[in-house]
Amino acid sequence: MKTNDFDYYLPKNLIAQVPIEPRDQSRLMIVSRTDGAIIHSHFYELGKYLRPGDLLVFNDSKVFPARLYANHIKTGREVELLLLRNLSGGCWRALVKPGRRMKKGDKFVSVKGDSRIAGEILQVHEDGSRTLQLSGEENLETLGIIPLPPYISTPLRDVNRYQTVYSRSQGSVAAPTAGLHFTTDMMNSIRDMGVHLLFVTLHVGWDSFRSIKTDDIESHEMHSEYWQLNECAAQQINLARKERRRVISIGTTSVRVLEQAANIRQHEDRADGLSEEVLGSGSGWADLFIYPGYKFRVIDGLLTNFHLPRSTLLMLTSAFANREIILKAYKLAQEHKYRFYSFGDAMLIL
């Protein structure tokens, strides 16, 4: 498959610039991955499409203030940094804008009142990112800003609207947006139905808003993202699979955690003998690239937003449901004026 197979045109007026209020008032498209049948609904009606015993898997990662405005030490000009990953010892992988102003050895500083962060560019990578050394990174909560995706130009009045109500593990540069639709009351109501809720962690990185540049999908290199799945969650998922209860992933990031863990378990089984367990607990760096042809081992359903063209997220969704079904659903969503991307409406694939 080619990257162009996942391209589509979207009018700018369908890109949601602000979140809808309350959270659960978004529209919800129900898509059958067997025959492509579509139902138009609203997110607060999600419970109508769930069953007692279903297991919903949420990503509890929290967005950290990863955007930093600073000044070049020599020129005084302003530069913008997006911190992608803390490597260790004050070293970070980051994007810098404008890149031409920040070469290896260049230094910068950000100051506000008594808070100060200084840094130096250590390395420039082929993909345009930088490795940099920071001092004063403990001041990120004061000097940093919660980053919004580049297609959102309207300032956010309440930064907590770019966090899920259940976020707790800080480390993402973008929100796991499928979860933005949930309210605490709604989650309690779903629990009362007999639906099980559990939480995993994947710190969302650069690939969530980066389009694929290569013509051949398999030539694309995924950036690694840190994931964690505890023993209790792994046992609950294995039990649900054994009892043939549905496992429904809330967002593509949760999918990547589950499938990464399942792939590790399959590899271990080949070495040590077969296991009845689909996956095991663990943590590490996920670089799993899911596109059509991938065999899913864990999930039976996926709740997700409408994604950018040529994106890894659109490819993952197409792998789960079938590319033709997804692109048909996207076309219908445009006709019905659904809102797209991070603050947009949702799709439930069953």
> Residue 209 has what pLDDT?
63
Statement to judge: residues 227 and 173 lie in one domain: yes
How are beta strands 107-112 and 301-305 bridged, if at all? unpaired
At 265 the pLDDT is 82
Dihedral of alpha carbons 247, 253, 255, 259, sign: negative
Domain co-membership, 59 together with 76:
no
Closest CA to 143 of 32, 46, 196, 67: 67
Residue 59 lies in a domain: yes
Q: Among 85, 115, 143, give the residue marking a domain's end.
A: 143
Same domain, residue pair 237 and 317: yes
312, 170: one domain: yes
Question: What's the CA gap between 18 and 139, in Å, rounded?
Answer: 28
Based on the domain organization, do 105 and 235 belong to the same domain? no
Q: Which of 82, 108, 143 is the last residue of a domain?
A: 143
158 Cβ contact partners less than 8 Å away, ≥ 6 residues apart: none
> By the 8 A CB rule, do 29 and 347 touch?
yes
**Global pTM?**
0.94
Do 134 and 254 belong to one domain? no
For residue 324, give its domain range: 3-63+156-349
Other Cβ atoms closer than 10 A to 326: 27
Residue 148 lies in a domain: no
Domain assignment of residue 335, yes or no:
yes
What tens digit of pLDDT does each residue of 179-217 get?
999 999 999 999 999 999 999 999 998 766 677 888 888
- 325 in the same domain as 249: yes
Report pLDDT digits (tens) over 138-176: 999 999 999 999 899 999 999 999 999 999 999 999 999
Report the pLDDT value the prediction gives residue 156, as an integer from 0 to 100: 92
Average pLDDT, 10 consecutive residues per value, the chain (350 residues): 93 97 98 96 98 98 97 94 92 91 93 96 92 95 94 93 97 96 98 98 81 84 90 97 97 96 76 69 93 96 96 96 97 98 98
Predicted pLDDT of residue 205: 87
Last residue of a domain, which of 101, 120, 143?
143
Q: Do 166 and 136 reside in the same domain of the chain? A: no
Question: Do 175 and 54 share a structural domain?
Answer: yes
Whether 244 maps to a domain, the answer reads yes
Sheet holding 282-286, edge to edge: 38-42, 27-31, 346-349, 301-305, 247-250, 55-59, 196-202, 225-229, 282-286
The CATH number of residue 131's host domain is 2.40.10.240
pLDDT at 274: 52
DSSP secondary structure string for all residues of 46-107: GGGG--TT-EEEEE-EEE---EEEEEETTT--EEEEEEEEEEETTEEEEEEESGGG--TT-E
> Is residue 150 in some structural domain?
no
151 belongs to a structural domain: no
127: left (phi over 0), alpha (psi -120 to 50) or beta: alpha
103 lies in the same domain as 223 = no
Rg (CA), the chain: 21
292 and 334 both lie in a single domain = yes
**Residue 149 lies inside a defined structural domain of this protein:** no
Residues 134 and 274 in one domain: no
CATH code assigned at 22: 3.40.1780.10
- Provide the domain count of the chain: 2
Residue 29 has what DSSP assignment? E
For the stretch 149-155, contacts whose Cβ atoms lie closer than 8 Å and that sit 24 or more positions apart, written own/partner, are 149/174, 149/209, 149/341, 149/342, 150/209, 151/15, 151/209, 151/308, 151/341, 152/15, 152/17, 152/341, 152/342, 152/343, 153/17, 154/17, 154/18
Residue 110: its pLDDT value, please?
97
* CA nearest neighbour of 320 among 308, 302, 333: 302
d(CA 287, CA 305): 21
